[in-house]
Structure 1
Amino acid sequence: MSQELIAVVMFSGMMLMLMTGQRVFGAIGFVGAMAGLMLWGTGGAEIPFSAAMKLMKWYPLLTLPMFIFMGYVLSESRIADDLYKMFHVWMGPVRGGLAIGTIGLMVLISAMNGLSVAGMAIGATIALPELLRRNYDKLMVTGVIQAGSSLGILVPPSVVLVLYAMIARQPVGQLWLAGVVPGLMMATLFIFYIWLRCRIQPELGPVLPKEERNVPLSEKLRLLRAGLLPLVIFATMMVPFVKGWTSLVESSAIGAITAFLAAVLKGRMTREVFETSVRSTLAISCMFMWIILAALGFGAIFDGLGAVSAIEDLFTAQLGLGPWGILILMQLSFIIMGTFLDDTAMLVIVAPLYVPLVGALGFDLIWYGVLYTITTQIAYMTPPFGYNLFLMRAMAPPEISLRDIYRSIVPFVAVMALALALVMLFPQIALWLPNYVYGK
């Protein structure tokens, strides 16, 4: 059996196991382990051992539980509720103001957590009922929450970019900085779309009643202080890191401690909140570590088979594609896979193939990390099986049907596609900030 055929059998076997509902790390690890034993006998047992040692020695991985804990503390202690109250008061007089404020809420939640699920949960439980109660169009606000929550995997501290850094062997700090401008650009495009749509069709996002807008200035300022607390936490974490005063791991610890102290000082750090935050952090951190371990072992076997060279030969020699044609084809494959896989699964399945190929084609791997993340955001919201679609269905009230959810994301997917095209055409959108900070 040729090396190329072995690689195809491995990839097909893994996809088949995933489609049967097996856990991601179990499917990837099992196929990799079986292939290693069949190809190299008992020597194949060294591959997962080597992957485990590599994982344990990767110091920046310590940031993962820190950021997850920080996000859960801020979420479970209801500090995120203060954000929405702030937007409710300050943005209420604007047409579509609460929907615009929800996008701002999602950006701040992303800066606290780094996971899209957290933004979705907060948006669906806090923002969605309020928006519907104030007669906002259900299609528009459903799309707003799904699109806004997807920013969690692009705006730092993105957990997905940490995993990409691990697999692509790129600096996490540069990847985070590369995601800042594209993430803010996408949020701005969302806000512009909402504002324009509500200007054309005012009934989609009515202003708040006058009695709800008549809030004393002192109360507005109090809500502003409470709502900006997450920004202060984010600044205490990121500024020392960007200035070079702390390492990435030290900054993540500062963020976790600051969030914990903020919840304590506000009197919201109960035993239940602490236990829920710690248990959730442990569960998600262990899940990610098992997935990375399986991916490293699987990728080592792919490298040993020469699968990367085979894929490169297929694209360039047999299909006759140029570098940009190959890049676009890879992005399309991410969107297709995103209809039935989550972002982590997509990354660990194809990164051993795509990342070396992207480097061989002469593209910047930091820039490609941002492209991958934006494409994942689109895949999350693409029917029929987009990940965010079903999360929203599980959390939305009964009056919002699955058909409504599918229809709601169409304009926001178009905005994301525009953002992806802009970053592809103008790489400096992603690369300017890391190049400036790191003096390249």
Structure 2
Amino acid sequence: MSYEWIAILMFSTMLLMMITGQRVFGAIGFVAVVAALFLWGPGGSDMGFSSVMKLMKWNALLTLPMFVFMGYVMSESRLAEDLYRMFHVWFGPLPGGLAIGTILLMVMISAMNGLSVAGMAIGATIALPELVKHGYGKPMISGVIQAGSSLGILIPPSVVLVLFSLIARQPVSQLWLAGIVPGLLMAALFIIYILIRTSLNPALAPPMPAEERARITWAERLHLLRAGILPVLIFVAMMVPFINGWTSLTESSVIGALSAVIAAVLKRRFTRQVFEVATRQTLAITCMFMLIIMAALSFGAVFDGLGAGRAIENLFLREMGLSPLQVLLLMQLSFLVMGMFLDDTAMLVIVAPIFVGLARVLGFDLIWYGVLYTITCQIAYLTPPFGYNLFLMRAMAPKDFTLGVIYRSVVPFVLIMLLTLGLIIAFPQIALWLPHSIYGQ
């Protein structure tokens, strides 16, 4: 059997195992180990051990539990609830105001947590009941929460960009800066869509009732503005020392986690239950990530041993004679397709090393390419059949939010994400302006 057919067989077997309900790390790891034994005999059994050793040398992964812990402390100590109350009061009188407030809440949460799962948890527990109570349509509720939470992997401190920096050997500080403007642009486009959609159909997202608005005094509104100060201070305390080179990435993540704990203590909400829930969830998510990365490293090592990177480079550049832009579009399209079946972390560790090398050969800026990859991951979070946020939404939402409603709700937001992706491909300075301004060309 040729190496090309072995690679095809590996991918198809892995996807088949996922369709049958196997865990992601189990499917990827099993295929990697069997392929290694088939290709290299007993020596292939060392592949998994080598992956574990490689994983242990990625010091930047120490930031993962810190960022996750920070997000869960914000959620469990109800600091995020204070934020949502602020947005509720200030934007509620507008048609679609609560949906706009939910997007802004997700932007703030994204600035304190590098994963989308924390945003989903906060959106489903805080925003969803309020949106339902105020008569918002189910597609609007589901779409806003899922799309807004996906901003967590683009706006710093993004864990996906940390992993990309390890693979592409690019400075994570520049990748984080490159994600800020595209993340805010995408959030702004979400808000513009909500305003247009609700102006055409006000019943889909009615404004706060007049009697409820009348009960809120200006003193209360101004007092609620203080809820936004703590998150901003946490973000500044974490990012400014790192961007200026005063602290390492790991040290900054610890500062962020400690800042969240101090904020919860000052609010007198850091209880034993908050600490226990945040710690348990941090442990569960960190272990899940580590298992997926370990399995994906093994798979990627086998795939690379088959010469997949050189074969793809030869196919695109020599046999097909494609231009650099055409190759870039094909790479993004393949990420979108694979994202329907693969976890974004697995996709990053398995396929990104091949495409990063190809992007380097083509002369693309890898900081810019990292932003394109991350936006593609966001889209993958919302696309069937295995969109991560789709299943999280189904698990967290009431039973009347059926899979059909959840699937339909993300369509306009996926189109907006594709528009953002197209804008950044056409105008790379959207992503590169901020890192170039701070660190120089």
Q: What range describes the TM-score normalised by the shorter chain of this pair?
A: over 0.9
Tell me: CA distance 1:102–1:358, structure 2 relative to 1, closer, same or farther (3 Å).
same
- Cα root mean square deviation, aligned: 2.1
CA distance in 1 between partners of 2:54 and 2:385 (Å): 37
Tell me if 1:154 matches 2:154: yes
CA distance in 2 between partners of 1:165 and 1:342 (Å): 18
Q: For residues 240-290 of structure 1, what are the alpha-carbon distances to aligned partners after superposition, in whole Å with 9 as ceiling and x for unaligned?
A: 111222111111110001111111221211111111111111121122222
Tell me if 1:86 matches 2:93: no
Quote the residue 2:303 is aligned against: 302
Quote the residue 2:389 is aligned against: 388
CA distance in 1 between partners of 2:430 and 2:362 (Å): 20
Q: Which one-letter code corresponds to 1:382 in the other structure?
A: T
Quote the residue 2:14 is aligned against: 14
Runs of 4+ in 1 over 6 A off after TM superposition: none
Quote the residue 1:169 is aligned against: 169
1:302 touches 1:352 (CA, 8 Å); kept in 2?
A: no
SS of alignment partner, residue 136 of structure 1: coil
Quote the residue 2:427 is aligned against: 426
Quote the residue 1:293 is aligned against: 294
Tell me: CA distance 1:198–1:248, structure 2 relative to 1, closer, same or farther (3 Å).
same
Q: Which one-letter code corresponds to 2:162 in the other structure?
A: V
SS of alignment partner, residue 207 of structure 2: coil
- Number of corresponding residues: 440
Tell me if 1:71 matches 2:71: yes
Quote the residue 1:231 is aligned against: 232
Cα distance, 1:13 vs structure 2: 3.2
User: What are the residue-to-residue correspondences of 1:368-383 with 2, within 5 Å?
Assistant: 368-383=369-384
Cα distance, 1:46 vs structure 2: 4.6
Cα distance, 1:296 vs structure 2: 2.5
Q: For residues 150-181 of structure 1, what are the alpha-carbon distances to aligned partners after superposition, in whole Å with 9 as ceiling and x for unaligned?
A: 11111111112222222333222221111111
Cα distance, 1:199 vs structure 2: 2.8
Quote the residue 2:282 is aligned against: 281
The answer for unaligned runs of 5 or more in structure 2 is none
Quote the residue 2:252 is aligned against: 251
CA distance in 2 between partners of 1:196 and 1:273 (Å): 39
1:66 touches 1:256 (CA, 8 Å); kept in 2?
A: yes
CA distance in 1 between partners of 2:403 and 2:431 (Å): 34
Q: Which one-letter code corresponds to 1:200 in the other structure?
A: L
CA distance in 2 between partners of 1:53 and 1:345 (Å): 18
The answer for unaligned runs of 5 or more in structure 1 is none
Deviates more, 1:100-109 or 1:312-321: 312-321
1:341 touches 1:387 (CA, 8 Å); kept in 2?
A: no
> Identity over aligned residues, as a percent?
70
SS of alignment partner, residue 286 of structure 1: helix
Cα distance, 1:210 vs structure 2: 2.7
SS of alignment partner, residue 112 of structure 2: helix
SS of alignment partner, residue 228 of structure 1: helix
Tell me: CA distance 1:142–1:301, structure 2 relative to 1, closer, same or farther (3 Å).
closer
Tell me: CA distance 1:170–1:50, structure 2 relative to 1, closer, same or farther (3 Å).
farther
Q: For residues 54-95 of structure 1, what are the alpha-carbon distances to aligned partners after superposition, in whole Å with 9 as ceiling and x for unaligned?
A: 322222221111111111111111111011100111112222
